[in-house]
Amino acid sequence: MNFNVIPSLLALTILVAVFRAILRQSSTERLELWLTGWFLVLVHFVAQFVQVGDGAWARWMAVCNLSFLALATIVFLISFSPMAEDRGHQYMMAAGLGIPALLYINAPIWNITSHAFYYAVTVLAFGSTVLLTWQYYRKLTPYVAGLGTGCVVVSVVMAYCVARDRTDIGVTVLLFSLNLAAAILYWRRFHRLTAGVLTTAGGFVAWGAAFPGFYLLMTYFPTARVDSEVWNLPKYFVAVGMILTLLEDQIQRSEYLAHHDELTGLPNLRLLLDRMDQALAHAKRSGNKLAVLLLDLDNFKEVNDTYGHRIGDLLLQHTVLRLTTRMRVSDTLSRSGGDEFTVISEIASPQGAEVLVSALKSALSIPFKLEGNVINASVSIGFALYPDDGNDTDSLRAAADNAMYAAKRASRLQSASNELFQSAKSEPHAIS
């Protein structure tokens, strides 16, 4: 047994447990792939632990050692790639990258020396990578051109190593390239200068550089001895960086939810009040009027009771999509209550508010089709104007609220009147 690997085994076991605990709290596709990747790294260390002797057992453990390490990097790479949108794409990437990589990496262990075999594997790796990239992007961009150039360079170098009977160098180049690609994709996926992203991307670069570093050290300084944990440090940097990235994402998410509605993504009441203060200050400076519109969906409770809360949530989301098409970019639409929305719009005259009200009502005039259900939605709208109806946020919101309830009462009276009229029409007239 290789007892020098025990510290790495313990460290990776803890890391797998940590990622498993994180996954239980927040289950996502990316986290599942990260957990899978670290589990594969753990298996890699298990293979190192039991890789002893020179017989068939040692050879099989060498295969497991390199294979699981390469597969872990490929799994990480897939988790960062925009091409891996679903399970099908993930399996395609795993096969397109994993099969050629495993064939090339493990062939020297089994003393395969056929140049034709290595050339065929290199062509397969190049072709599958280019095909996967083109299938997703479908057009030539600087990034796609860069990926293609990188594939060409790596393929040429690996083919050159085969021609010079130095497949061991080719294996080193392949492992370095996979980790470098993971670093690039990680940076492109998160693309921010934070401790988590920089640590992870830098860790992948160092992880990849460890392979040529080890090869050069063994070639030119064969008597030098470097503790195995030194070579494993980049793996821990990657793991710590991933955990920091998750914490950064959680902080960003918390900050976002502090000011936005989770269901619709609209500003919540807290952010609405801040934007109203800013809009009022701007209206005072510019001399324009400010319209504050309060919208309330009619019969929303009946939709929830009849079709369920899922359809109710979908109705809210689709309502937002329609309303935003009738507003200017400078306007603010906020979800200020369960089925209530508030609009802030700077206008030149009261007629501007009336035009906006008409546009928002017409946006909901066409029935919604949600999961096979046809739902008619209408909205009651009340509005208040600065400075006509108030000079501050509270007075404007109170005036808009009163106007909205007046509009809702008028709508109910109109509906009742229509029902009575239709009922009267249906009754036979008396004959005298």
- What mean pLDDT comes out for the span 200-222? 92
Task: Identify the pLDDT of residue 5.
Answer: 77
Task: Identify the pLDDT of residue 19.
Answer: 93
Query: Residues near 323 by Cβ (< 8 Å), separated by ≥ 6?
Result: 295, 333, 341, 343, 360, 363, 364
Specify the DSSP class assigned to residue 334: E
**Quick check: 77 and 178 in contact, CB under 8 A?**
yes
Q: Is the pLDDT of residue 430 over 50?
A: no
Task: Identify the pLDDT of residue 399.
Answer: 94
Kind and range of the H or E element at 37? helix 29-50
pLDDT band with cut points at 50, 70 and 90 for residue 432: very low
Asked which of 57-61, 64-68, 177-181 is least confident by mean pLDDT, the reply is 57-61
Asked which of 3-17, 354-368, 378-392 is least confident by mean pLDDT, the reply is 3-17
Task: Identify the pLDDT of residue 263.
Answer: 93
d(CA 289, CA 388): 8
d(CA 276, CA 116): 71
Task: Identify the pLDDT of residue 6.
Answer: 86
CA-to-CA separations, 326 to 117, 178, 331, 343, 360, in angstroms, rounded: 63, 48, 10, 11, 6
**Quick check: 241 and 197 in contact, CB under 8 A?**
yes
Task: Identify the pLDDT of residue 416.
Answer: 52
Q: Is the pLDDT of residue 26 over 90?
A: no
Domains of the chain, each with CATH number or no CATH: 3-257 (no CATH), 269-419 (3.30.70.270)
Mean pLDDT (the chain, rounded): 88
Task: Identify the pLDDT of residue 51.
Answer: 75
> For 264, phi and psi rounded to 5 degrees?
-105, -15
Sign of dihedral through CA atoms 355, 357, 359, 362?
negative
Specify the DSSP class assigned to residue 342: E
* pLDDT tens-digit series, residues 298-350: 889 999 989 999 999 999 999 999 999 999 999 999 999 889 999 999 998 88
Specify the DSSP class assigned to residue 262: T
- What mean pLDDT comes out for the span 239-245? 95
* pLDDT tens-digit series, residues 91-145: 888 999 999 999 999 999 888 989 999 999 999 999 998 888 888 887 888 888 8
Asked which of 60-64, 219-223, 310-314 is least confident by mean pLDDT, the reply is 219-223
* Angle, in degrees to the nearest 10, between helices 228-257 and 29-50: 170
d(CA 67, CA 48): 12
**Quick check: 34 and 76 in contact, CB under 8 A?**
yes
Kind and range of the H or E element at 380? strand 379-386
CB contact burial 225-264 (16+ within 10 A = b; e otherwise): eeeeeebbebbbbbbbbbbbbbebeeeeeeeeeeebbeeb
- What mean pLDDT comes out for the span 382-401? 93
Sign of dihedral through CA atoms 259, 265, 268, 273?
positive
Query: Residues near 421 by Cβ (< 8 Å), separated by ≥ 6?
Result: none
Q: Is the pLDDT of residue 429 over 50?
A: no
d(CA 285, CA 287): 6
- Give the tokens for residue 206: 């160092």
